[in-house]
Structure 1
Amino acid sequence: MPSSTRGRAAPAPDPSHFRHSYSKDTALLMRRLSRMEGQVRGIARMIEREEYCVDILQQTAALRAAVDALSILVLEDHVQGCIRTAAEQGHADEYVDEVIDVVRRTLGRPIRTGSRPA
Structure 2
Amino acid sequence: MELELEGADLKSVLNRLRRAQGQISGVIRMIEEGRDCEDVVTQLAAASRALDRAGFAIIATGMQQCMTDMETGRKNGEDAQQMRTRLEKLFLSLA
Q: Using structure 2 for the length normalisation, give the TM-score.
A: 0.81
The aligned amino acid for 1:94 is: Q
Deviations 1:71-110 (A, max 9, x none): 11111111111x2134222632211100111112211xxx
Q: Which residue of the other structure, out of 85, 88, 91, is the alignment partner of 1:100?
A: 88
1:77 aligns with 2:61: yes
Q: 2 CA distance for matches of 1:47 and 1:69?
A: 25
Q: 2 CA distance for matches of 1:31 and 1:104?
A: 23
Q: Which residue of the other structure, out of 64, 70, 74, is the alignment partner of 2:48?
A: 64
Q: Secondary structure at the match of 1:22?
A: coil
Aligned twin of 2:70? 87
Instruction: Tell which deviates more after alignment, 86-95 or 34-43.
Output: 86-95
Kept after mapping to 2: 8 A contact 1:86/1:95 = no
Runs of 4+ deviating beyond 6 Å:
none
**Greater relative CO, 1 or 2 (CA 8 Å, sep 6+):** 1
- Residue ranges of structure 2 left out of the alignment (5+ in a row): none
How many corresponding residue pairs?
89
Aligned twin of 1:27? 11
Kept after mapping to 1: 8 A contact 2:21/2:47 = no
Q: Using structure 1 for the length normalisation, give the TM-score.
A: 0.67
Deviations 1:22-59 (A, max 9, x none): 23322222222111111111111100111111111111
The aligned amino acid for 1:69 is: R
- Residue ranges of structure 1 left out of the alignment (5+ in a row): 1-14, 108-118
Q: Which has the higher helix share?
A: 2
